[in-house]
Amino acid sequence: MNTISRLISGSIAVFAGVVLIILPFFLSEKSVFFTWIYGIPILIIGIFILFNKREDQIEQIKSKKKLKISAHSNLKNSNERRFKK
């Protein structure tokens, strides 16, 4: 995920988690535990999405490897064409 998509999805998840945790106190106390079951994990996942920068580093490494592989294959193809003449 790039930073913009990580920021958008993480902030939406954090906001939804906070709403699900706080909202039942204003509506009825019977639904507190049911909304906490969903609210707390969504909040944790949202925080994880916001602060997970390791995935961006992994994607950069993969894209660098793809560039090296494609450059190597292009070089190999040009050498094969040169020797076939």
Please tell me whether residues 17 and 45 are part of one structural domain: yes
Decide: helix, strand or coil at residue 55. helix
pLDDT tens-digit series, residues 6-39: 888 999 999 999 998 888 888 777 777 888 888 9
Please tell me whether residues 39 and 23 are part of one structural domain: yes
User: Residues 6 or more apart from 23 whose CB is under 8 A from it?
Assistant: 35
Cα(59)–Cα(85) distance, rounded to whole angstroms?
40
- pTM to 2 decimal places: 0.60
Confidence of residue 77 (pLDDT cuts 50, 70, 90): low
Cα(28)–Cα(31) distance, rounded to whole angstroms?
6
> Is the pLDDT score of 64 beyond 70?
no
Confidence of residue 49 (pLDDT cuts 50, 70, 90): confident
Please tell me whether residues 43 and 84 are part of one structural domain: no
Confidence of residue 44 (pLDDT cuts 50, 70, 90): very high
Residue in 54, 43, 52, 41 with CA at minimum distance from that of residue 16: 43
The parent domain of residue 78 ranges over: 53-85
> Is the pLDDT score of 72 beyond 70?
no
Q: Could you give the number of structural domains in the chain?
A: 2
47 exposure class (CB count in 10 Å sphere: 0-12, 13-18, 19+):
middle
Please tell me whether residues 3 and 43 are part of one structural domain: yes
